[in-house]
Structures are given as C-alpha cells and as structure tokens.
Chain A
Amino acid sequence: MRPVRRPADHHPRRRARHTATAAVALSLVLSLATACAGTEDAASPGAGGDGGTPTAGGTLAVGLNTSVACVDPHQNSSNVTIFVARQIADSLTDQDPETGEITPWLAESWESAPDATSYTFHLRDGVTFSDGTPLDAEAVAANFDRITELGPGVAPLASTYLDGYTGSEVIDPQTVTVTFDHPNVQFLQGTATITLGILAPATLALTPEERCAGDIVAAGPFVIDSYEPEQRIVLSRRDGYDWASPAVEHTGEAYVETVNFEVVPESGVRAGQLRSGELHIDTIPLTEDVPNLEASGFGVLGRPYPGVGVNLVPNLERPLISDVNVRRAILLGADREEIVAGVLTEYDKVAQNVITSATPFFEPLDGITYDPEQAVELLEESGWVPGEDGIREKDGQRLELLALYHAGRQASPMMELLQGQLREIGIDLQIRLEAPADLAAAEASGEWDLWYTPFHRAEADAARAVFGVTGRNQNRAPEPRPVDDVLQEQSGESDPQRRQELITEATQELVDQAYAIPLYELAGVMSYAPVVKGFHFEASSRLSLYDVWLDA
C-alpha cells in the first residue's frame, strides 16, 4: 500500500519513501551477493557410480525446469511429461538402449505380418492397473481406439505412430491383433515408447482435459499421489508391481518409496539444491556447471538423444523462407562447430544428418557444412542486397525471420549465438522463447518462419513423423512434395537394406531442399547426487527411475 501524501506533512513521508527505494536497491545487491556465497562453497565430495546392495525406501527428489503442462503421454510428448509418465505407465514392448532391439514387456511375444500391415501381441498374464482392473486385450484395443478417436489434433505424436490404423481385434483375453491399411514398420518401436503407453480403460473414458490434469491410472511401478502442475508432482511406489521389463536391472517393486518431481525453473537454484541435497537428480543442468559437478563427486549421465536432432524447420507458408536460397543460406550460415564448442557439453555433437547418430539407420549426409561465402552468394542470387545496418533488403523489405523455440537445454544461448552468426551473412533472426502452455497455440498459429525441433525417438521414422505430410508436417507444406513419397515408402519397407537406402535418400533430400536445417545432436544430460545409485536412461535417453535406489 502506497502512502497517501498530503501537502501539509508530505516531507517526512517522502523521506520514508526515499529510504524505501534505497532499501529495495540495496537488498537486490545483497541478495545477489549472498546467492554467490551460498552456492560456491557447498560442494560435498562423494563417490559416483554404482555398486553395493540396493536398499528399498526413501524419497527421491527430481528437479524439472518447466511445469508439466499435461501429464497424459498420449496427448503430450514434451520431455517433462515423459519423465513423469514413464514412471507411471508401462508399454507393450521395451527397447534395449544399447542395441535398439525391441524386447518384451507387457507383451511376452508378438508376430508381425510379412507386409507389416498387422501385429499380434500375446500379453503377459496377471498384469493389473493400479485401480485393480486387469490389463487385457480389451484394454490394449481400447487404448489404440481412443488415440485414433482423439486424432492428430489432440494426440499428435501418438497418431503418427498409429498411421493407417484400422482397428484392433481381440482374439482372446491375452491376445490382440492390430491392423493397418498400409505397411507400418515403425509401429513396433512405437509400442516401446511411453507415447503409446497403456492406460486404464477408466482413464480413457475421461475427457482429454481431465487426463491432462493428472487423472491417470496405468500399470507402471509408480502411481500419481498429487499433481500441482506448476510446483510438484508426487509419485508413490506401487505395491505388488511384478511385471518389470527384462531390459532393466531388477524385478519386483521399485526401490524408492516416493518420487517428488519439483518444478524449479532457475538452473542456478537447481544446481544449488543438488549440492545441498534438496534435489537428487537435476534433469537439465547448465553446461557451465557440468565440469564443476563432475569434479566434486557428483554423477553426470550423458547420452545423445535418438531421433530428429536439433533442427530449425522452415515454415513453407511464409513468403521469405519459402525461397530455397534463403533456407539454404541459413543451412550454410550456421557455424555448428562454434555452437557445440561454445554453448553445449562434451556429450552433444555436430549434426551430420536430420536424424542423430544414436538413431537406427543413421548415415552421415553431404551438404551440412559451414560456408558463409556460398550462403552470401545464394542470398545475392535471390536479390537480397545489404542494407544500411548490414541486414539484407529486397524491394524495401528487410530479411527478417522469426524463430520460435522452447526451453530445451541450452536452447536460449544457442539461439542467441545463431542469431549472431546469421547477422554476419545479413539475416536478421528474431528469436522468441515460448512457455510450455503457449507452445501448441503458437505452433498452430503459423506466425513463425523457423521452428526449433528436437524430437527424440529411437526410430528413423522420426523424420517422417516431423517432416512428412502424413506426420506432423512441421514444414506446413501446402501439398505433398517428392520427399513425402520417399518418407512414406520407408515407413512401410520391411527389408532393412532397402529401408536404409530410402531413409538416406529422404533425409538427403530434406537437407538439399533445406526443409530441415540440422544444427546439432542434443544429448540427454542429467546430473545426480552421489547417493543416487542404479540411475540409467531408457532407450530414448529419458529418465527411468525403476532401478534407482538411495545409498543412505
């Protein structure tokens, strides 16, 4: 409440106000000073790595950088959603992080038709959802039916996995056959992802909004206790869980009793909390903190994400960027070596393809190079000449492009660095960070020239899921392009050698036309306290907490 001044006595009151303003200024400085002092000396040494006998119990605190806008894995595929959902829902199959091989989980075995148009799953006996209902063939069929019903608008990613889905047939309570109207090779790997995680029929009956708000019942090793999207999500261990994937380290119930996912947007605060023991795992540490943490005994887990790496995706509906020369100029004007050495960690790599080297069927492509001279030539060819401030112009229009991005690890420094690199060749790159809650609306509006797209999935079909017109059509291509046919063809090709050729052809075409501007291969990097044992990633380099235990 501000004091109301009267002329007769305004003098002393005004003095009080001087002091108040001064106090605000001083406290700002003091709080900064104490923040420095608080975080610099708190390093506690300890041994990282594994070893010892796992002990059950305890509360694990995991730091997230943004709020979990929606916890339903069918609808949302952001990293934070997957971090949480992976612990509460199981999938039909699992995937070996090392080999990429699909292994049994809820399905003990499966057969696929030779033309990849149908798959038959034999489910494991005795699996129940946390509300007590059985996980049977009916439930699996209901999941796929419901995703198709929600459609690409509500369940964008899950819908691309079920591309061409015609229905599921329940053979007996433990057997279900899923059929497609055209060959769908990538579906099998899709069943290993949390995006096609199996939810309880009771959950499927809810509205998409209710499911987003944390009302999720599934068959995973943890269940949701409480859900406050902006602050914390509390999970507790599910008693009687006994159907762990053979790909993990142990069987039976999970070790830790409670998992607290804490939303802490400030990376500096997360680093401080990790050092002070308030957090056990930081899911997104700052590049600059990683060497310090490693040096003082903290563990760091780093593994490249499979799938589509960090690419900028041009919006072909926008006039300036629909010119292939402008797109190629950005491709050639981005100095990837400087980006990786400057703002990323030792775990991140320069892009060699649209998909990353951790993805099956990866092959290095030609043309992803740094060549500013050629970039300038291309711009000149299209009639863009330098203006007064160094930014190119044509017919009085500035070469100004808007790139939207979201809070990925090191995304902001990377975009600012790229902005400087493109300024050198005369492109004014405007960058805007979108909050998780606004992301979908911003994307749908189409009011952007470039979209920041890492998309993590251990399957080369990720390229079709992102760029193909039958996928998310991130390019907003008004009509199918030649590359879309190749992308579609590979998703139905069951001969690995032929599929390899098609994938390389399609990704090379994406680069040649600069429908994709590959920058780097982002790695999943997480730091953890020395007391955390048994911590490993699943196949898509995301968090898996089933094997984690605390060494008290």
Chain B
Amino acid sequence: MTLTDTPAAARGRVRRRPGPGVVLSFLVLGLAVLAAFAPGLLAHQSPVEGEVLEKLRPPSAEHWFGTDHLGRDVYARVVHGAGLSLRAPLIAVAIAFGAGCTLGLVSGFLGGPVDAVIMRLVDILLAVPSLLLSLAIVAALGFGITNVAVAVGVASVAAFARITRAEALRVRSSPFVEAATTLGVRGPQVLLRHVLPHAVGPALVLSTLEFGTAILSVSALSFLGYGEPPPTPEWGKIVSEGRDYLATAWWVALLPSLVIAATVLATNRLSRWFDARGERI
C-alpha cells in the first residue's frame, strides 16, 4: 500500500501548484469575462459601425482581427459579442442546474412512483440529441438570445437530474441520514439540511463542464441564425457572417472561431482541474 501510495502522493504535491495549462486557461477565461463585463476596456472601436470601403482588410495593428464585409472591426465585434455569448451559457447552465438538481433530489429522495415518473421523463429528454432538442425548443419559443439560453438549458436538464438522483440515493441510505430520520427530523428538513449539501458537489463540477458545452451550443444556434437580430454581435453569428468569405478573407470566420475554441478548451481544462482538486478534498 505504501508503495502504490507514493506516486499518487507525489503527483498530488506537484498538482498543488497549477500547471501552465491551468494558468493559461485562467488567463483566457479572465479575458473573456473582462470582455463580457467591460468590453470598452479591451476594444475601443465600435462593434456595429464600420467604414464599408475598408471592408475585408486583413489583420493589422489597427484592426487586430481584420475587418468584416461591412468594414467593421472583427476584434471589437468579438469583444463586444462576449457579453451575450457568455451570459447565455451562464443562464443555460443555471436553468439546467436548478431544474436538474431539484428533479434529481426529489426523485432520489422520494423514490417509488415519483422517481419512476421523473426518470422516464428524463429518459425521454436523453433520447433526443441535445442540439436537436435545443433547436426544436428555440423554434417554438422564437428567436433571441434569451430563448436560445432557455433552450440550451432545458436540453441539459437530464444530465443534472441523473447525477443528483444518484447522489441522493447514495446519501439517503447513509447512517447519518438514517440517524436524523430516527431522531424525528421531518422529510423536507432531511432533504434540505442533510441530503442536499452532500449530493450537490458532483453537480457543481458537472456545471463547470456543461458551461463549455453550453458555449458551443449557444454559438451553434446563433450560427444558425436563432440569436439576436443584426447588428448585435454574437460569436456564432460573427463566424456565420464570415463563412462566405473563407476563400478571400479567412480572418473574419477563423479568428472568432479560435476565440470560441480557446474559451471552450479553457473551461474544460479548468473544470478538470476543479474536479481533481475536489477529489483530493
């Protein structure tokens, strides 16, 4: 046991200081968050007004990401698009987390017919590919970034419900919960005071992971034209506007795509890091 423990312990010590990947991820996400809350600090050009005769200029000192088909600064559009493109996944994850955890807890704690009904509904949600489900929901709700957020959120409820239910099941049968019940603590109290705090951890880790997926889904829907009407910039829409010019002006679509990819990868890396730390604790 001591022998097998040693590498793990050593790895733990090394991991205590975040690696360069984690630092870089923090940096990327930090910039994205800064762009979302104070875009003016990162870009001074207007995201909606451009000089059309200066259209499709390649990246330069003046226009870091070049200009698009209407002469607007692509970098400014990406920076100003961060607000909507990050807020929507945040709303989506909040919806998925809130609804999913409630369903999962109730289902796991009560068991019996309630559990059966909720889990069959979750099965139905899982049976439909999540992007397809989001598309159907947003088509029913109408266009707009808030509706996109709701659609992506509803489509990821199932994962949260499943994982919370499993945790609730585990915690419900543990001795301290049984002790609380024996001592006469009422059902709702047990659920909120004893089961919830222990069951919610994995869901929190899952939410950081889902955030990355939600950025992709929101961008995908906005790419398909379900987001805000023009000229409001959103990441997916910027890529979509640029795809006509791939042959002549690659920067319009490619650079914003790289920003999306970097943000998603950074979120992924950080969620793994949080996960690893969580396990050690």
A residues lining the B interface (CB < 8 Å): 1-2, 4-7, 10-11, 14-15, 17-18, 21-22, 24-26, 28-29, 32-33, 35-36, 39-40, 266-268, 271-272, 286, 288-289, 292, 338, 341-343, 413, 415-417, 419-420, 423, 430-433
Contact = CB atoms under 8 A, between A and B. Distances in A.
Contact of B247 (A15, A36, A420, A430): A36
Contacts of B126: 1-2, 4
26 contacts: A2-B158, A5-B162, A5-B166, A6-B166, A7-B163, A7-B167, A7-B202, A10-B163, A15-B272, A18-B271, A21-B213, A25-B260, A28-B261, A32-B254, A36-B246, A267-B244, A268-B247, A288-B69, A342-B52, A343-B52, A343-B70, A415-B230, A416-B230, A420-B49, A423-B48, A423-B49
Contacts, number: 123
B246 A17 contact: no
Nearest to B126: A2
The SS class assigned to the B binding surface is helix
A106 to B, nearest CB: 41
Given A342-B71, A417-B52, A420-B48, A4 B243 contact: no
Contacts of B19: none
Nearest to B262: A25
Interface of B: 48-50, 52-53, 55-56, 69-71, 126, 130, 158-159, 162-163, 166-167, 170, 202, 206, 209, 212-213, 216, 225, 229-231, 243-250, 253-254, 257-258, 260-261, 264-265, 268, 271-272, 275, 279
Given A21-B213, A288-B69, A416-B231, A342 B247 contact: no
Contacts of A420: 48-50, 70, 231
B70 A18 contact: no
Contacts of A17: 209
A26 B162 CA distance: 28
Given A288-B69, A419-B230, A338 B52 contact: yes
Contacts of A1: 126
Contacts of B167: 7
List of 9 A-B pairs having minimum Cβ-Cβ separation, nearest first: A342-B52, A39-B247, A25-B261, A7-B166, A36-B250, A25-B264, A267-B244, A35-B246, A29-B261
Contacts of B69: 288, 343, 413
Contacts of B257: 28-29, 32
Given A28-B261, A36-B246, A272-B247, A14 B162 contact: no
A25 B163 contact: no
Contacts of A272: 247
A25 B231 CA distance: 25
